[in-house]
Structure 1
Amino acid sequence: MTAPSTTPSTPPAPAPAPAPAPAPAPAPALAPASQPGGAEADWVRWPAEFAQLYQDTGYWREQTLDGLLREWAHRFGSATAVVAGSERISYAALDEAVDDLSAGLSALGVGPGDHLVVHLPNRAEFVTVLFALMRVGAIGVLALPAHRRVEIEHFARLAGAVGYVIADRHEGFDYRELAREVAGAVPSVRHVLVAGDPGAGSETAAPADAPAFTGLGELAAAGRAARRAAAAGGGNAGVAPPGRGPDDVALLLISGGTTGKPKLIPRTHRDYAYNARASAEVCGLTADDVYLAALPAAHNFPLACPGILGTFGVGGTVVLAAASSPDAVFDLIGRERVTVTAAVPPLAGLWVEAAGWEGPDTTSLRLLQVGGAKLDEGLARRITPALGARVQQVFGMAEGLLNFTRLDDPDEIVFTTQGRPLAEADELRVLDGSGHPVVAGQVGELWTRGPYTIRGYYRAAEHNSTVFSDDGFFRTGDLVRRLPTGHLVVEGRVKDVINRGGENVSAGELEEHLLTHPAIARAAVVGLPDPDVGEKVCAAVVPVAGGAAPRLKELKNYLRDRGLAHFMLPDRLAVVADFPYTAVGKIDKRELRRRLEE
């Protein structure tokens, strides 16, 4: 079934649905681990007939993202593209900086098909690194600032990363120490590139075969010199190599880790360009807009929904916020005359509360997007009175499908739904537990496919066979109701995952780490309601016989030492004698949750 839509956000040519969804039928068959004609060694392309259809109907264009930057530099020239701290960078200067850095990367031997984990906070180097990697044909794996050793090593191993791009320090954390650990554990990592001071940062001497730490500024300067020398000799350094086209992977996003370790999400140049372009249209972005990236720029939401890329596409200005606190955000909104920004619900709530006592100047702000977790109706109604901006609910996923409330939707729709699909070509199924379509208006699991929804995770053939149907529908794990207007109301999750303030915490992954503690015999992780973050993480543990369970503070320190990100740490520890079990011997988490809530 194709979701009804009355306001298409498509390229000029009207776009029919890509292919009729199968008639209501038995449960969709899941894809085999290898799909003839669709699977490659690392990622799954769209079938040829769909690719042709998306091209013919204008969703996909023959452009690469780094090629688009060239076009934007030509069109918008001296207009300000990026504001980061004291830096103000024009479109033309940004393109030049990308050329310099790409020439430096090429001199290091970084080229087509190489992967580098990009682990940067919101600073100008995030943008230049992202585009410079594309320009040399390399692929950035976009990690979030909160990720730590466990996640970064996993990303680096899975991608076979040849490099790791970091800041020197951020919010008191020294990423250079982490880089040493990662490089020591993942032999493929040959380069560590540092925004800031690449200095040692350690009392311990590095092994002789450890990768050198190179400053991004130094690398860009070397690239600039190489380009000038080549130009003086009639050559051309820093030109994008052949062989990376619009249908190739541009970057790898990180999944929310809903089933064990996070997966890598391959986004191609043309599908991600559409993602950003159509999102900008839905938000009514123009060259007069100033977009504030208050969330981590490596996240899909502030990167391309419409975010940084969508703003660049219309010639607007992107302001990168180093912090998302009310003080920092309100200062930037007032000083830079920010018109659009995005937040997760807990952050939006914090801004609304702070506005009550700070009285900030938010008169320029016209639109606040809220997504990452379901927005409470009460908070949705308080945003405009507090901040003056219209609220837009966004329900989407890094794997693709995006749903937006529209700027002209009635208030009740905006306050009570999570939007409707971005594209006319987005196909949705809402299915019951047996895989059959639910009655209209009833709750079911959301399955989807479309021109910007992936057909498989990166290097995850076995997992893909469990979450993609044989006809290409992605099993999102979200429980939704669909209204006659096509708007969706999110009712929860099928998967064993906790949404803590927009961060997905995999219960299974955290349980694995808990069970390594010598004092814990059994463990179960559940989410409990919390007014501030939506769900808090509760670790229920059974101590080893005759022993005592660790205290919460001790347990957090233990997990932190194992390299877990701070959002993975439990908020509450419950010590129990035993767990309730289902008839088949599994821990009954529903009953456990009920007991813990009493």
Structure 2
Amino acid sequence: MITDLKINEEQKKKYYDHGYWTADSIREVWHDQVARHGEREYVCDDTGSRYTYREIDERAGRLAAWLASEGVQVGDVVTVQFPTWAEFCIAYVAVMKLGAVMHPVPRNYNDMDLEYAMNLVGSRAFLCPTFSHNVDYEAQIASVRESIPTLGPIAVLDKQAPSHTEFPTFDDIYGRFEPMSAFAPVSADSVACILPTSGTTGKPKQAMLTHNNILFSERVFTRELGRTEDDVMFMPSPLNHATGFFHGLISPMLLGGRAVLQQDFHAREAIELMNEEGVTWSMSATPFIFDMLNVLEASDDGLAFKTLNLFCCGGAPLPPALIERAHRHGILLCEIYGSTESCPHVYVPPEKCLEWNGAWSGVPFEGIEVRVIDAEGNELPAGEQGEELSRGPHMFVGYLNERDRTDRALDDDGWFYSGDLCYQDDEGRIRINGRKKEVIIRGGENISAREIDDDLIGCPGLATSATIGMPDERLGERICTFVVATDPDNPPTQADLIDYLTSRHVAKRLWPERVEVIDEIPVTATGKVKRFILSQVLKERMAAE
């Protein structure tokens, strides 16, 4: 049982008094939705799987009964490694029925990644496919199981290949066990899920979220975006992230709606799948909608979005040009801001998407507070830039087994220090300007790496860019921009970038002082640039010189 949770008691009382938190766990909410919507379809994917609420419930009940028979109890951690498949829902519902803790990990975790992560969280059980994407998941977990002392039962889903080990398959379990019917008590304030953080600055942390955190977050998310049970969510993002799991699956469940999953994102196939399934909304990183708009505008066969009307974007501020392009295709592009720890907490109301046009990252959801502070922790007046802090019923309750890192990020009053720079106006709107770690300190002057990348949007020959600080003996840091060329044989030079910035009257202090060509900018699944990787690449290239 996980006990080292950081919850401010005064805030906790307020959240219950306001009705933001309740006594119901995700399990109780799920059972209510099955009773109401049992025959409705809950989830499908592009591999052919389709399940109603009742079908997921029945299979999950059998899987939960097997896990219980193997000794998995309330509060135990169950690690799940799946592609973006509908069967992930069977796994997560089974874990919730038990009162255990979901720990979804990326499908591309290898044996060493699994060993590290599962030992960190003390995994008690493991669920995965037999085979997918040229990966033998059975062999992978078998190779490290002896190195994970807490690990007990392992089950595999033989969706794309038969099992070849001693591990029981989901189908075996369905045939041998009746659905669980007696449920141990579970507190809504206990941990429901542990999510690895994006890892933009190094080794991922394991963020803990309670049933109440998740339920509040997704209820306010769907309500403020005006979603109903008639809406159909499209989700191409990995299910080990808050975007994929919470927004993609929990949100539709709370509505009694549907979710449509895509195993591997391909823009044209995504548009066709959304049209076939009547998708009305989606939530993902900006590159997903960018790619789909490019495909639409390059097609000559009348390809169009037939039912999609709202696309929520996280991971980076939205350029006005992208908002305008999406609107020409009948889509409101809505910026959402948050993190694994504080997910989500700021949004642009759909009715304001066009009016604000990328000028603001949004306003806090109901029940959530935002502050902007300086380096000394003093609250800043409207218009002045500082670090963004947030507090609310959605807030994570710490990093598992890393109290020092928890205390650095989450203070005793419940405020989360995001590490993001922003300013706020008198109406409560905030504008995210980048990460504190994305600030280049050149000769004592703070320069926003994101600002430079934004200024370079539209530069001829430039597909995308990412700017970092380059070590410099005299100035501390100089500006280095990594570029991906539209034509790999003719990448833009430093002179090309400077000519473009000059034409846009960008100040000289923001000009790149070194340009590095790279095949692809490394990003997380939520679209955040992994600048620590670029720093390592730059270090190696400078050493080679």
TM bucket normalised to smaller: 0.7 to 0.9
Matches within 5 A, 1:207-218: 212-218=166-172
Q: What displacement does 1:357 show?
A: 2.2
CA contact (8 A) 1:106 1:238 kept: no
* CA gap 1:65/1:56 in 2 versus in 1, 3 angstroms: same
**Residue matched to 1:362:** 305
- Equivalents in 2 of 1:262, 1:122: separation in Å? 21
- Cα 1:336/1:200, change in 2 over 3 Å: same
Distance 2:258 2:52 in 1: 9
Aligned partner of 2:340 in structure 1 is 398
Shift of the alpha carbon at 1:476?
A: 0.8
Give the partner amino acid of 1:101.
L
Shift in Å at residue 87 of structure 1?
Answer: 2.7
Q: CA deviation at 1:374?
A: 2.5
Alignment match, 1:24: none
CA contact 1:384–1:390 (8 Å) conserved in 2: yes
CA contact (8 A) 1:381 1:415 kept: no
User: For residues 568 and 129 of structure 1, do their structure 2 counterparts lie closer, same or farther at Cα, with a shift above 3 Å needed?
Assistant: farther
RMSD: 3.3
Alignment partner, residue 163 of structure 1: 125
Superposed counterparts of 1:11-90, under 5 Å: 42-84=3-45, 85-90=47-52
What does residue 261 of structure 1 align with? 203
Quote the Cα distance in structure 1 between the aligned partners of 2:39 and 2:253.
13
Tell whether 2:431 aligns with 1:489: yes
| Match among 254, 257, 279 for residue 313 of structure 1 | 254
Gaps of 5+ in 2: 440-448, 454-465, 469-476, 487-517, 523-529
Alignment correspondent of 1:422:
365
Match of 2:163 among 195, 199, 222: 199
Is 1:220 aligned with 2:162? no
Compared with structure 1, are the counterparts of its residues 72 and 368 closer, same or farther at alpha carbon in structure 2 (3 Å cutoff)?
same
Q: Which residue of 1 aligns with 2:235?
A: 293
Q: Give yes or no for the alignment of 1:440 onto 2:402.
A: no
Aligned to 1:449: 391
Determine if contact 1:266/1:454 at 8 Å carries over to the other structure. Answer: yes
| TM-score (normalizing by structure 1) | 0.72
Cα separation, 2, equivalents of 1:490 and 1:567: 17
Q: Per the alignment, do residues 496 and 184 of structure 1 end up closer, same or farther by CA in structure 2, a change over 3 Å counting? A: farther
> Aligned partners of 1:527, 1:98: CA distance in 2, in Å?
51
Are 1:330 and 2:292 an aligned pair?
Answer: no
* CA displacement at 1:529 relative to structure 2: 5.0
> Any idea what SS the aligned residue of 1:435 has?
coil
2:97 counterpart (113, 135, 160): 135
Code of the residue aligned with 1:418 in structure 2: it is S
- Report the Cα distance in structure 2 between the residues aligned to 1:131 and 1:54, rounded to whole angstroms: 26
Q: Displacement, 1:88? A: 2.4
Which secondary structure state, in structure 2, belongs to the residue aligned with residue 122 of structure 1?
A: coil
Any idea what SS the aligned residue of 1:398 has? coil
Tell me the CA shift for residue 130 of structure 1. Answer: 0.6
User: Is 2:475 aligned against 1:475?
Assistant: no
CA distance in 1 between partners of 2:2 and 2:150 (Å):
19
Q: Say if 1:350 and 1:470 are closer, same or farther in 2 by CA, change over 3 A.
A: same
1:109 Cα deviation (Å)?
A: 1.9
Instruction: Supply the distance in 2 between the matched residues of 1:49 and 1:62 (Cα, whole angstroms).
Output: 17
Matched, 1:176 2:117: no
Question: How far is 1:43 from its partner?
Answer: 3.0
Whole-angstrom CA distance in 2 between matches of 1:47 and 1:193: 38
Letter in 2 for 1:54: Y
In structure 2, the CA distance between the partners of 1:456 and 1:574, relative to structure 1 (3 Å rule), is closer
Report if the CA contact (8 A) 1:135-1:239 is conserved: no
CA distance in 2, matches of 1:129, 1:332: 24
Separation in 1 of the partners of 2:258 and 2:390? 33
Tell me: CA distance 1:137–1:407, structure 2 relative to 1, closer, same or farther (3 Å): same
User: 2:232 is matched by which residue type in structure 1?
Assistant: V
Aligned-pair CA distance for 1:380: 2.5
3-state SS of 1:162 partner: strand
Structure 1 CA distance for aligned equivalents of residues 323 and 480 of structure 2: 23
Q: CA deviation at 1:568?
A: 8.8
Q: Which amino acid aligns with 2:294?
A: E
Contact 2:208 2:397 in 1 (8 A): no
Correspondence for 1:462: 404
Note closer, same or farther for the CA distance 1:574–1:474 as it changes in structure 2 (3 Å cut). closer
Q: Secondary structure at the match of 1:124?
A: coil
CA offset at residue 527 of structure 1? Answer: 8.1
Q: Deviations for 1:21-68, whole angstroms, at most 9, x for unmatched residues?
A: xxxxxxxxxxxxxxxxxxx96432423322221111010112111111
Q: Once the 2 structures are TM-superposed, how far is the Cα of residue 141 of structure 1 from its aligned partner?
A: 0.8
User: 1:346–1:532: 8 Å Cα contact kept in structure 2?
Assistant: no
How far, CA to CA, are the matches of 1:527 and 1:334 in structure 2?
Answer: 42
Q: Which runs of 5 or more structure 1 residues have no equivalent in the other structure?
A: 1-39, 202-211, 228-236, 508-523, 534-551, 557-565, 580-595
Contact 1:102–1:223 under 8 Å retained in 2: no
Cα distance, 1:160–1:528 mapped onto 2, change above 3 Å: farther
Q: Classify 1:46/1:270 alpha carbon distance in 2 versus 1 (closer, same or farther; 3 Å).
A: same
Q: 1:326·1:351 contact (CA, 8 Å) conserved in 2? A: yes
The answer to whether 1:119 aligns with 2:81 is yes
**Contact between 1:480 and 1:492, CA under 8 Å: does it hold in 2?**
yes
1:575 to 1:315, Cα distance in 2 relative to 1, 3 A: closer
Quick check: 1:266–1:457 contact (8 Å CA) kept in 2?
Answer: yes
Q: Following the alignment from structure 2 to structure 1, what is the Cα–Cα distance between the partners of residues 6 and 241? A: 23
Task: Return closer, same or farther for 1:241/1:532 CA change in 2, 3 Å cut-off.
Answer: farther
Letter in 2 for 1:459: N
Instruction: Rate the CA distance shift 1:460–1:90 in 2: closer, same or farther, 3 A.
Output: same
Aligned partners of 2:31, 2:142: CA distance in 1, in Å? 35
By how many angstroms is 1:576 displaced?
5.0
Change over 3 Å in CA distance of 1:391–1:577 after alignment to 2: closer
* Paired AA for residue 389 in structure 1: I
Which letter maps to 1:62? A
- In 2, Cα distance between the equivalents of 1:256 and 1:475? 16
Aligned to 2:527: none
Q: For the Cα contact (< 8 Å) 1:41–1:459, is it kept in 2?
A: no
Which of 369, 373, 377 aligns to 2:320? It is: 377
2:368–2:390 CA contact under 8 A, matched in 1: yes
- Give the number of aligned pairs: 468
Match of 2:514?
none
Deviation at 1:577, TM superposition (A): 5.6
- How many angstroms does 1:376 deviate by? 2.5
* Residues 559-579 of structure 1, C-alpha deviations (whole Å, 9 max, x = no match): xxxxxxx99976956645669
Deviations 1:326-346 (A, max 9, x none): 132112111101111122112
**Contact 2:41/2:53 (<8 A) preserved:** yes
8 Å CA contact 2:156–2:163 kept in 1: the answer is no
- Is 1:145–2:86 an aligned residue pair? no
* Alpha-carbon distance in 1 for matches of 2:134, 2:532: 19
Q: Which deviates the most, 281-290 or 182-191?
A: 182-191
TM-score (norm 2): 0.78
CA gap 1:577/1:398 in 2 versus in 1, 3 angstroms? closer
> Are the equivalent residues in 1 in contact too, given 2:209–2:397 (CA < 8 A)?
no
Alpha-carbon distance in 2 for matches of 1:414, 1:218: 53
Determine if contact 1:334/1:360 at 8 Å carries over to the other structure: no
Partners of 2:132 and 2:532 lie apart in 1 by 19
Query: Quick one: which of 169, 188, 204 aligns to 1:246?
Result: 188
Cα distance between partner residues in 2 of 1:185 and 1:360: 51
Cα separation, partners in 2 of 1:530 and 1:428, compared to 1, 3 Å: farther
**Within 1, Cα distance between the matches of 2:10 and 2:29?**
26
Distance 1:486 1:529 in 2: 35
TM-superposed CA distance for 1:192, in Å, is 2.5
